[in-house]
Amino acid sequence: MKRKLISAIGIAGMVVSIAACGGEGGGGSDKGADAKELTVWLTVDAQNNWPELVKAADAAVQKKHPGLKINHEYYGWPDKNAKLDAVLATDKVPDVVEMGNTEMLGYMVKGAFAPLDPADFDSSDAWLDGLKASVTYEGKTYGVPYYAGGRVANWRKDVAASVGVKTPPKTYKELTAALDKIQKKQGDKFSAWYQPTRDWYAAMSFVYDAGGAIATESGGQWKASLSSPESLKGLKEFKNVVDRYMHGDKTKDESDRYIVYGQGKSAMIFAAAWEGATAEDPKNDKSGKLKGNLENFVMPGPSGKNMPVFLGGSDLAVPVKSDAPALAAEWINAFAGSSGQKGLMAKGNLPNNKTDLATLKNDPKTAVPATAAESNWFVPMAPGWGQVEKAQILQTMLQSIGTGKKSVEAAAKEADAAIDKVINTK
């Protein structure tokens, strides 16, 4: 599930108020341990899909703190941050807030959240690397991973079988050999692999698979590295995929990929794990051929290893002005700790830690997303990353590459220069 990183501008209005508040708060503090009320903000995902887990967390904390009143408010993703920004500028803030993991950085940079002690939370020593990165800034932890969502390859079994391929590929060489056969059989109006050019999540997986990175940090300073030899190798392979297999509009992003896939003019996507199932929903399956005919598999990388994937998901944080940070930390652990993770996995989510993730690999229903999530990457945790996303620097670079407007080298060099202008700016 993709969360758009908020811009620094979006929370500028609350900075003065937060800075004036001061204080550390968080799980390492007893502040508010005797509070009589706790306010928890979650998204409608929890309200609609696992309300019993919320109730269980409430009951566990209230058993330890008799008489505690726990208030819940639920928000949709589109309007959540605007409401949060407004309330953070006041003295009446929620004690726990759910954040998309790519939304965390802008708030951490501005000092909106209290630092937490990882030792207060179950399995913190085994948090998935990408999720751990999303709650960490300048060596401190400002949130707790809640659940994860990964990316997998998904293809049509009937189209693969039409060229003699009966099982999912295990290597990148097997994958491209199958796609070459499919492309030849179906012709140039069909996309053997529908890969939107502006999909930077997929493109950067190629970069990280090749040993490259969007940016690297040294001595507290970040520097763009898309024009490094390793990153260029990944970008060139991404362009190769787009040139050979993507015969759709090469100026598009991934927002409607599942809809395009449902039109029946492509054989494969590399996407969020839910997209295949959504494409085969009768309201999206315009071809009438997808239901029961799609198959997820772990995306193999050109390196010979599984392709590293971007981990989406949610985190839980404690606003720095909370009156009950100690209780907030207790509630978070009751909700997203060992017991909560089992409940979340039962609902089809990936857990926040490697130990629980390993158990999902033994179940055929969850083995593919669980295995894919083991190799993952996350955005640079640099103070100016929000400005990089807001300016759509990566998308612009990829469109230039995919459409042939610029060479890979020229587009990467231009992107590096644009990133370097803002990536270290708070």
For residue 211, being part of any structural domain is answered with: yes
User: Does 269 have pLDDT greater than 50?
Assistant: yes
Q: Rounded to an integer, what is the distance from CA 91 to the centroid of its chain?
A: 31
User: Does 426 have pLDDT greater than 90?
Assistant: no
What is the rounded CA–CA span in Å between residue 369 and residue 314?
A: 17
β-pairing, 37-43 vs 96-100, is: parallel
Contact 142, 116 (CB under 8 A): yes
Give 225 or 149, the one with higher predicted confidence: 225
- Read off the pLDDT band of 26 (50, 70, 90): very low
Do 193 and 292 share a domain, yes or no? yes
- pTM given for the model: 0.86
User: Does 414 have pLDDT greater than 80?
Assistant: yes
What is the rounded CA–CA span in Å between residue 209 and residue 191?
A: 23
Percent pLDDT > 90 in the chain is: 86
Alpha helices in 292-353 (DSSP H): 325-336, 338-346
Do 250 and 363 share a domain, yes or no? no
Do 344 and 208 share a domain, yes or no? no
26: Cβ contacts below 8 Å, ≥ 6 apart:
114, 115, 116, 117, 318, 325, 329
- For 338-373, give one letter per residue: b (16+ CB within 10 A) or e: ebbbebbbeeebbbbbeebbeebeeeeebebbbbbb
Position 203 scores a pLDDT of 98
Q: 223-237, 343-357, 363-377 — which one is most confidently predicted on average?
A: 223-237
- Read off the pLDDT band of 9 (50, 70, 90): very low
What is the rounded CA–CA span in Å between residue 330 and residue 61?
A: 7
Do 64 and 191 share a domain, yes or no? no
For residue 275, being part of any structural domain is answered with: yes
Do 332 and 187 share a domain, yes or no? no
Q: How far is CA 311 from CA 12, 73, 145, 376, 395, in A?
A: 27, 26, 11, 6, 19
Q: How many CA atoms lie within 13 A of 194 on its CB side?
A: 29
For residue 219, being part of any structural domain is answered with: yes
For residue 326, being part of any structural domain is answered with: yes
What is the rounded CA–CA span in Å between residue 151 and residue 239?
A: 20
Residues in the chain: 426
Position 365 scores a pLDDT of 85
| HEC-encoded secondary structure of 32-77 | CCCCCEEEEEEEHHHHHHCHHHHHHHHHHHHHHCCCCEEEEEEECH
Do 122 and 70 share a domain, yes or no? yes
pLDDT in tens, 232-251: 999 999 999 999 999 999 99
User: Does 219 have pLDDT greater than 50?
Assistant: yes
Contact 77, 100 (CB under 8 A): yes
Measured between its terminal Cα atoms, the distance across the chain in Å is 27
Do 274 and 170 share a domain, yes or no? yes
Span 392-420, mean pLDDT?
A: 98
pLDDT in tens, 32-65: 678 899 999 999 999 999 999 999 999 999 999 9
Q: 79-88, 343-352, 353-362, 408-417 — which one is most confidently predicted on average?
A: 408-417
Do 331 and 393 share a domain, yes or no? no
Number of domains in the chain: 2
What is the rounded CA–CA span in Å between residue 195 and residue 269?
A: 6
Q: For all residues of the chain together, what is the average pLDDT?
A: 92
- Read off the pLDDT band of 147 (50, 70, 90): very high
User: Does 4 have pLDDT greater than 60?
Assistant: no
Contact 335, 144 (CB under 8 A): no
- Read off the pLDDT band of 356 (50, 70, 90): very high
pLDDT in tens, 164-201: 999 999 999 999 999 999 999 999 999 999 999 999 99
Residue 45's domain is classified under what CATH number? Answer: 3.40.190.10
For residue 255, being part of any structural domain is answered with: yes
Contact 312, 369 (CB under 8 A): no
For residue 6, being part of any structural domain is answered with: no
For residue 57, being part of any structural domain is answered with: yes
Do 94 and 158 share a domain, yes or no? no
* Residue-range definition of the domain harbouring residue 164: 151-310+381-420
User: Does 23 have pLDDT greater than 70?
Assistant: no
Do 315 and 256 share a domain, yes or no? no
For residue 353, being part of any structural domain is answered with: yes
Do 155 and 110 share a domain, yes or no? no
Do 270 and 395 share a domain, yes or no? yes
